[in-house]
Chains A and B, each alone.
Chain A
Amino acid sequence: MSARAAGTFLTLSILLSSVAQILFRLAMQHLSLTGDDPVSVVAGLVSNDAVTELAPLAIGVVCYVVSMLCWIFALVRFKVSVAYPFISISYVIVYAAAVLLPVLNESITWRSLLGIGFIVAGVCLLARQGRQNSGKAIS
């Protein structure tokens, strides 16, 4: 597989997994787990409005599965240590989308922005050492 093809799979994987997360939250945000009884939770899920909740769930699952396949194909060429930092880009995409989309309308807090910064930096550092030290390329 060429580096370009693998790069395309990697990009697709990141974009599709971001879209999937937004759709998942869209589908799940009104589900209540307040009943202690799991049966009522499942009943609540099934009785959800088909258009506004089950459709995003179904499309989200498809995006997620395709993104997972793209990720595996990207890993054929790239080491995990090279590919992983790209995942943290999807945290930023999802955060921005969830805050900006009126239908989700999530809050921006300094603490969560700081948290995302730490996590993105941490993922990049965690991957970097592997790239320097590990001679075990998969490709």
Chain B
Amino acid sequence: MPNDVQYLLLVVSIVLLSAGQITQKLAARKLRSSEGAIAAVTSLLRNAWFWVSGSLLALAMVTWLLTLSQFEVSKAYPMLAASFVLTAIASRILLQEQIGRTQWAGIALITTGVALMLQTAG
């Protein structure tokens, strides 16, 4: 399998994970903190976003497992933080959350860190 495929697996995992996180947030939003554990579980199971999120994360897990056949976990796992960058940008667009100066600095640090990890992971 060509070398590009291992990076493609990593990128697809990151994108699916971000989509999973956004929909997970949408699922969590519908839960009320006053609910007991059983009521919370039943309301989760009737929540469509929970299932969308679950499917995306299940798919992400398959591509992630394949990614782990290619990279050391100590180097690959922290690179999943790139999904926070995608999630922050998607949250700004879809959930109207703000990205401040400090957050942009965080995005720059994560991107630098991922670039450093890539250089030892390949």
A residues near B (Cβ < 8 Å) are 1, 21-22, 24-25, 27-29, 31-36, 41, 57, 61, 64, 68, 71-73, 75-77, 80, 84, 87-88, 90-91, 94-95, 98-99, 104, 106-107, 109, 111-112, 114-130, 132-134, 136, 138-139
Contact = CB atoms under 8 A, between A and B. Distances in A.
B74 A119 contact: no
A34 B108 CA distance: 34
B12 interface: no
A23 B25 CA distance: 27
Contacts of A28: 65-66, 68-69
Contact of B70 (A33, A95, A130): A33
B28 A75 contact: yes
Given A123-B81, A130-B97, A106 B73 contact: yes
Contact of A32 (B24, B69, B103): B69
A47 B8 CA distance: 25
Given A61-B61, A111-B119, A80 B25 contact: yes
Contacts of B33: 1, 76-77, 138-139
A74 B11 CA distance: 27
Contacts of B77: 21, 90-91, 94-95
Contact of B110 (A35, A126, A129): A126
Nearest to B117: A115
Contact of B106 (A68, A77, A123, A136): A123
Nearest to A136: B97
A68 B32 CA distance: 18
A34 B70 CA distance: 10
Contact of A33 (B6, B28, B108): B6
Interface string B98-114: 11111101111111111
Given A33-B70, A41-B66, 10 more contacts: A25-B72, A94-B73, A95-B77, A106-B75, A111-B120, A115-B114, A118-B110, A121-B106, A122-B81, A123-B81
Given A33-B69, A109-B120, A115-B113, A129 B101 contact: yes
